């Protein structure tokens, strides 16, 4: 009898699926490891604070009302700066995508601005916009602006040209084509760019608050750091992570609403 | 829905499309040579020719999406009353906005004309009914089969009540059965309300089924080799009839040498 066996399976994979709990398990495992290590003395208390202590610090922060005193200004700086940077970035990105002259003029400029660590410009912003909120808004806005521009004009370039020709063939006006064809077509790319931009905005928020801010997560972390108060430092860092996760979740929600036509 | 009936009303102005000595080249490549052609009102003119001979280019020029290097394309007479977009395309790849529903895709063509909400909804309901899509008004394009998508594109074209419909291989992306069904649909639409159309295809069976006149283009640079007229009315065309079979055979003779030569050229290029 000839050799008989099932055809070996070699398909599958390359298709990310939602596995929500895996992320939580990884988080929980790492925290449990740190807790166990610091309790048994395998990790010294100077290397890493004990997670339960960080939690306690967080509790104090909450009860004293200091949490919101720090979080409030930070959130408003983030909101104003990021909204400014993202909206100007999207507008400029669309203009670059649509007009050859704007593209020729601004793409090299954006390429030159992109790699500058924006934090290095903070002193300049302080001179231009003052030590108060102005310089913080400007830093966050500027940092969000460049990645948003790049993502937006890339997304506009990728809009299906046959759809634009279709719009023209029905006699749609320029503004109608931009509003009804180009912008919705570019939306997936713009939103995924926004994900990156907003993470950068959080990084810059902390940087800005490390200079001349009485309240704010950044100021809180800076103070804890200069005292080598690891519990408070970590409490601050955890707040930032939670902020990042929240922003990312918000964008996922927006994508679900705006891009439900994709599947 | 009487106001949209646009069959031959007496005294109505007519519009036809006239091309004279149209030539075009892309860079150094001559694509079209000396095309002179009239698209008469109320008839379907099919354009056939081997792939790459300039059919799509010619159609883009007829619709004003591209300018020819030489020659002119004239719109003679006024478009019919209530016409929102005299020269209207149906594209091979449907060109539907994936983020709009079926009704939304049709309303895209109407929104800029400020017809008012009720008039717009009336038109949409009318064209959906005419293309058998009434039950799909709220569906998104990704939920539809290829044939349904092309029906939506045809409905969208009908919505603007065009003087001339420009169809670029509208059935080429569909499977054979769907193609048959859509051809029947097109014939039904034309019989109930005759429209003027230029229908580009590389499929001779489609041309013989739908064309009142069939323009055969040579391989690139596309020039008119012959214009074959078919007098048999669309609704009674029986493809097994010897006359039609002979016409198709004749077209195939014309096309075969061109297609073979064009094929060899592409292989060398
Ligand atoms: N925008 C363009 N730029 C340069 N060459 C083009 C362009 N459009 C079409 N061509 C060339 O012109 C020739 C005719 O193209 P097309 O009109 O699409 O042919 P068909 O529709 O008959 O297959 C082809 O060789 C094609 O490569
Ligand atoms: Mg073509």
Q: How many residues does chain A have?
A: 263
Asked if residue A16 belongs to a domain, the reply is no
User: Could B91 and A162 be called an inter-chain contact, meaning their C-beta atoms sit closer than 8 Å?
Assistant: yes
| Residue B239: pLDDT over 90 | no
| Residue B3: pLDDT over 70 | no
Interface of B with A (CB under 8 A): 63, 65, 84-85, 87-89, 91, 93, 95, 97-100, 108-109, 111-112, 140, 142, 156, 160
- Tell me the β-bridge partners of B169: none
Instruction: State the pLDDT at residue B6.
Output: 42
B266: Cβ below 6 Å to ligand 1?
Answer: no
Q: Which residue has the tokens 């103070």?
A: A223
% of chain B beyond a pLDDT of 70: 94
Pairing verdict, β B164-168 and B196-201? parallel
Asked if residue A38 belongs to a domain, the reply is no
State the virtual CA torsion across A163, A166, A170, A171 in degrees, nearest 10. 80
d(CA B139, CA B137): 6
d(CA B266, CA B52): 9
Range of the domain at A167: 63-262
* Residue of A162, A180, A259 with shortest CB distance to B95: A162
Please give the structure tokens belonging to residue B198: 């230029």
- Tell me the shortest Cα–Cα distance from A261 to chain B, in angstroms: 5
DSSP labels, A129-145: H-TTHHHHHHHHHHHHH
DSSP labels, B13-55: ---EEEEEEEEEEETTEEEEEEEEEEE-TT-EEEEE--TTSSH
| Residue B172: pLDDT over 80 | yes
Instruction: State the pLDDT at residue B8.
Output: 42
Q: Which residues of B touch A162 (CB under 8 A)?
A: 91, 93, 95
d(CA B110, CA A71): 49
User: Could A173 and B111 be called an inter-chain contact, meaning their C-beta atoms sit closer than 8 Å?
Assistant: no
Instruction: State the pLDDT at residue A189.
Output: 95
Mean pLDDT over all residues of chain B? 88
Query: What is the per-residue pLDDT across A82-116, written as a single tens digit (0 to 9) for each?
Result: 999 999 999 999 999 999 999 999 999 999 998 99
DSSP A8: P
CA proximity to A243, closest of A17, A9, A77 = A77
Confidence band (pLDDT; 50, 70, 90) for A210? Answer: confident
Residues B66-81, mean pLDDT to the nearest whole number = 90
Asked if residue A234 belongs to a domain, the reply is yes
Instruction: State the pLDDT at residue B269.
Output: 57
Nearest CA, atom 14, ligand 1: B54
d(CA A216, CA A240): 11
Q: Which residues of A touch B162 (CB under 8 A)?
A: none
Instruction: Give the CATH number for residue A194.
Output: 1.10.3720.10
Q: Which residues of B touch A170 (CB under 8 A)?
A: 85, 88, 108-109, 156, 160
d(CA B190, CA A186): 38
d(CA A146, CA B201): 47
Confidence band (pLDDT; 50, 70, 90) for A47? Answer: confident
Q: Which residue has the tokens 């007479």?
A: B77
User: Could B142 and A261 be called an inter-chain contact, meaning their C-beta atoms sit closer than 8 Å?
Assistant: yes
Cβ–Cβ < 8 Å for B200, B47: yes
Asked if residue A11 belongs to a domain, the reply is no
Asked if residue A107 belongs to a domain, the reply is yes
- Which residue would you say has higher pLDDT here, A177 or A120? A177
Residue B250, Cβ density class (10 Å: 0-12 exposed, 13-18 middle, ≥19 buried): middle
Quick check: A241 contacting B, CB < 8 Å? no
Asked if residue A55 belongs to a domain, the reply is no
Query: What is the per-residue pLDDT across B20-35, written as a single tens digit (0 to 9) for each?
Result: 999 999 998 999 999 9
What is the pTM (predicted TM-score) of this model? Answer: 0.84
In chain A, how many domains are there? 1
B218: Cβ below 6 Å to ligand 1?
Answer: no
Asked if residue A73 belongs to a domain, the reply is yes
Asked if residue A21 belongs to a domain, the reply is no
CA of B29 to the centre of ligand 1 (A): 9
Q: Which residues of B touch A180 (CB under 8 A)?
A: 97, 108, 111
């Amino acid at each position: 009898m000839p050799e008989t066996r099932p055809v070996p399976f070699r398909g599958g994979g390359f298709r990310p699926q939602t596995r929500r709990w895996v992320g939580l398990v990884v988080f929980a495992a790492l925290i449990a490891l740190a807790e166990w290590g610091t309790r048994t003395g395998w990790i010294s208390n100077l290397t890493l604070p004990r997670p339960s202590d960080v939690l306690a610090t967080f509790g104090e922060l909450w009860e004293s009302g200091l949490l919101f005193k720090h979080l409030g200004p930070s959130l408003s700086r983030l909101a104003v700066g990021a909204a400014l940077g993202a909206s100007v970035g999207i507008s400029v990105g669309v203009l670059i995508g649509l007009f050859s002259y704007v593209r020729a003029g601004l793409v090299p400029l954006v390429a030159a601005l992109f790699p500058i660590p924006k934090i290095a410009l903070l002193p300049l912003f302080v001179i231009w916009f003052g030590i108060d909120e102005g310089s913080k808004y400007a830093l966050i806005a500027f940092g969000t602006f460049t990645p948003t521009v790049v993502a937006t004009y890339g997304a506009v370039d990728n809009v299906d040209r046959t759809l634009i020709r279709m719009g023209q063939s029905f006699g749609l006006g320029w503004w109608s084509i931009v509003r009804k064809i180009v912008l919705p077509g570019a939306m997936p790319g713009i939103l995924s760019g926004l994900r990156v931009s907003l993470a950068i905005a959080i990084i810059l928020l902390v940087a800005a608050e490390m200079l001349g801010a009485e309240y704010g997560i950044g100021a809180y972390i800076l103070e804890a750091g200069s005292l080598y108060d690891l519990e408070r430092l970590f409490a601050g860092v955890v707040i930032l992570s939670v902020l990042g996760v929240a922003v990312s979740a918000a964008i996922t929600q927006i994508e679900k609403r705006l891009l439900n036509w994709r599947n | 829905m009487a106001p949209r009936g646009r069959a031959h009303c007496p005294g109505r102005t007519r519009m036809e499309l006239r091309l004279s000595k149209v030539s075009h080249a892309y860079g150094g490549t001559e694509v079209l040579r000396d095309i002179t052609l009239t698209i008469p009102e109320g008839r379907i003119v099919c354009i056939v020719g081997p792939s790459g001979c300039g059919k799509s280019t010619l159609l883009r020029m007829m619709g004003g999406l591209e300018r020819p290097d030489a020659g002119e394309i004239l719109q003679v007479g006024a478009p019919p009353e209530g016409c929102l977009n005299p020269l209207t395309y149906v594209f091979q790849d449907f060109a539907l906005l994936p983020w709009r529903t079926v009704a939304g895709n049709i309303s895209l063509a109407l929104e800029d004309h400020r017809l008012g909400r009720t008039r717009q909804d009336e038109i949409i309901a009318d064209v959906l009914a005419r293309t058998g899509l009434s039950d799909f008004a709220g569906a998104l394009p990704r939920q539809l089969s290829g044939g349904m998508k092309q029906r939506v594109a045809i409905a969208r074209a009908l919505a603007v009540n065009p003087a001339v419909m420009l169809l670029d291989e509208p059935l080429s992306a569909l499977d054979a059965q769907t193609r048959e069904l859509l051809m029947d649909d097109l014939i039904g639409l034309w019989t109930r309300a005759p429209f003027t159309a230029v229908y580009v295809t590389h499929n001779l069976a489609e041309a013989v089924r739908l064309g009142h006149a069939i323009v055969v283009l040579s391989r690139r640079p596309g020039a008119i080799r012959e214009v074959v007229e078919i007098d048999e009315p669309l609704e009674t065309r029986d493809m097994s009839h010897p006359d039609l079979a002979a016409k198709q055979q004749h077209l195939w003779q014309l096309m075969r040498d061109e297609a073979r030569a064009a094929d060899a050229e592409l292989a060398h290029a």
